[in-house]
Amino acid sequence: FFFHEATIPRIFMTDRSIYSCLQRLPGVYRDPPRIRRDASSLLDSPVGRHLQPEASSFVENDGTTVKALLLKGTVPMTYRGATYNIPVDIYLPPTYPIRPP
């Protein structure tokens, strides 16, 4: 059975992209299913619908570079009746959920 990509519900596309990113980050997270669930929940929400997952690196406060899941894109923000799309990079650190993004 074949689905055209346009007919696949967004939740499946999102989950597949997060899974693909986590496959490129083996051993980084203690609980990959939790990362996948939380990231999917955010990306499938109205606030996170313009975010895209990436496997990336970032520099910790102590100067070390670590691999992490990055949720990159824009988040809508309403101010005085106008909506602005604010660019954001949200990294889920290897110690997530103990340490917040």
Reduced 3-state DSSP string for 49-98: CCEEEEEEEEECCCCCEEEEEEEEEEEEEEECCEEEEEEEEEEECCCCCC
pLDDT of 12 reads 44
- The model's pTM is 0.81
pLDDT of the chain, 101 residues: tens digit per residue: 444 444 444 444 577 899 999 999 999 999 999 999 999 999 999 989 999 999 999 898 899 999 999 999 999 999 999 999 999 999 999 999 898 88
Residue 32 has, within 13 A of its CA and on its CB side, a CA count of 12
Q: How far, in Å, CA of 58 to CA of 66, rounded? A: 6
pLDDT of 92 reads 95
pLDDT of 13 reads 55
